[in-house]
Amino acid sequence: MGATKTGATIERIDHIVFTVRDPDTTCAFYETVLGMTVATFEAEGTTRKALHFGRQKINLHRAGREFKPNAPRAAPGAIDICFVTAAPLDAVIARMRAASMTIVLGPCQRSGALGPMRSIYLRDPDDNLVEISAYEA
């Protein structure tokens, strides 16, 4: 990836924002089902929650009380995201089934940013589409 016309080079995503109905329910799902770490932090006098994994995080906004600025049509269920796992996908599938999670599609072949991968899809408590993928060796 090279520099843009302005000279800026994008290295990675630092964080994204999910607008959710209930941050506590969302945190419980991502912590229990996907193994993310929940953090509470203060920003401009407001207590907020975030989900940490690897070198990234997901900030959570409660629907109707979004932190400004925000997307003009932010809403629960508007996200379609792919997470990459280091674990074998079959182990992830077994964990999802043990947690009584409904796999809405997969396993299936997909093409990721780094090449071929196997994926499964499920829904989080806000009905966001969550893809969990493992790159093929």
What letters, b where the CB count within 10 A reaches 16 and e where it falls short, cover 71-80?
A: eeebebbebe
The distance of Cα 92 from the centroid of its chain, to the nearest Å, equals 15
Exactly one of 42, 44, 66, 131 is catalytic; which is it? 131
Is 42 annotated in the active site? no
Contact of 22 with 125, CB cutoff 8 Å: yes
Contact of 89 with 133, CB cutoff 8 Å: yes
Contact of 53 with 96, CB cutoff 8 Å: no
Contact of 83 with 135, CB cutoff 8 Å: no
* All residues at 6 or more sequence positions from 8 whose CB lies less than 8 Å from its CB, including other chains: none
Q: Which residues are annotated as catalytic?
A: 131
